Amino acid sequence: MNKTVQLKDLGTKDFKETWDYQETLFKAILDTKIKNRREDAGLITDNHFLFVEHPHVYTLGKSGDLSNLLLSEAQLAEKGATFYKINRGGDITYHGPGQIVGYPILDLDNFFTDIHKYLRFLEEVIILTLAEYGLKTERSPGETGVWLDVGTPFARKICAMGVRASRWVTMHGFALNVNADLGYFDNIIPCGIRGKAVTTLNNELKVDLVNEDEVKAKILKHFEVLFEAEFV
């Protein structure tokens, strides 16, 4: 089993370009697994972890409802935002500046073959990271992602998640709101969940700006421990 993970920070990159890149890495792992199965080739599969920040974009998962996007094409253009229907689970979400997006493209055969556990581990990475800032975050039953004040009228989501998996290979991942502009969430019903707010780390800490590189370092630290992985 290969538990080394190739880490790459793409900086600011267009959503579609990043999606295409993810698909390339995803397909390469799948092709290796198929070759191993057919030819007993014994090849080692790679694991990847991408950090990226996207320009303003809304994405709708394959089970999502287009009516959760509250903007017309003209209004999207006005806001300098793009829109894509994509092949992950979940409904609609927003990505943009000030948000840390993480895309683990892993062969779970190298770790554990359990998608439910994988999602819970991703959530736990974020929960542990935010705990370092003094925030008590948690899961919300039936609603993937990381939340504050679950079960109260003040429940709000700070991190969205949506993944795709095939033959235990994952893609897509999480989006943690660090210094994001919350105004962009007003144009959607986030994740198709009505009446629940969205928040950011800087908002919760009541500061102008949180150091995003510092947050990324904490995410990687907790990911390595939970997944017993090593970044290279």
**What does the pLDDT look like over 170-191, one tens digit per residue?**
999 999 999 999 999 989 876 6
In angstroms, the Cα distances linking 75 to 56, 85, 164 are 13, 17, 29
C-alpha–C-alpha distance, residues 104 and 161, integer Å: 12
Given pLDDT bands bounded at 50, 70 and 90, which one contains residue 193?
low
Tokens coding 145: 């992602």
Model pLDDT for residues 69-117, shown as the tens digit of each residue: 999 889 999 999 999 998 887 788 899 999 999 999 999 999 999 999 9
- pLDDT tens digits, residue range 123-142? 999 999 999 999 999 999 98
Query: Does the domain spanning 4-231 belong to CATH 3.30.1300.10?
Result: no
Catalytic machinery residues:
191
Tell me: is residue 161 an annotated ligand-binding position: yes
Annotation-wise, does 173 bind a ligand?
yes
What pLDDT band is residue 4 in, cutting at 50, 70 and 90? very high
Q: Is the pLDDT at 146 greater than 90, yes or no?
A: yes
Q: Are 136 and 151 in contact (CB under 8 A)?
A: no
Burial class for 23, CB neighbours closer than 10 Å (0-12, 13-18, 19+):
middle
- The β-bridge relationship of strands 99-105 and 48-53 is antiparallel
CA distance 203 to 200: 5
Ligand-binding annotation for 183, yes or no, is: no
What the block records as the tokens of 96 is: 């943009």
pLDDT at 73: 87
User: What pLDDT is stored for residue 201 in this prediction?
Assistant: 98
State the DSSP string of 25-51: HHHHHHHHHHHHHHH---PPPP-EEEE
> What is the rounded distance in angstroms from the CA atom of residue 3 to the CA atom of residue 45?
10
Distance CA 104, CA 8 (A): 10
Residue 27, pLDDT above cutoff 70? yes
What SS3 class is residue 64?
coil
102 carries a ligand binding annotation: no
Structure tokens, 100: 């840390």
Residues ≥6 apart with Cβ < 8 Å to 170: 104, 105, 106, 108, 118, 163, 164
91 annotated as ligand-binding:
yes
Name the pTM for this structure: 0.95
Q: Is 74 annotated as a binding residue?
A: no
pLDDT at 16: 95
Domain boundaries, the chain: 4-231
pLDDT score, position 168: 97
| 174 labeled part of a ligand binding site | yes
pLDDT value at 144 more than 90: no
Q: What average pLDDT does range 157-167 have in this prediction? A: 94
Band of residue 18 on the pLDDT scale cut at 50, 70, 90: very high
Closest CA to 159 of 149, 170, 173, 142: 173
CB atoms near residue 31 (< 10 Å): 12
Tens of pLDDT along 39-65?
988 999 999 999 999 999 999 988 888
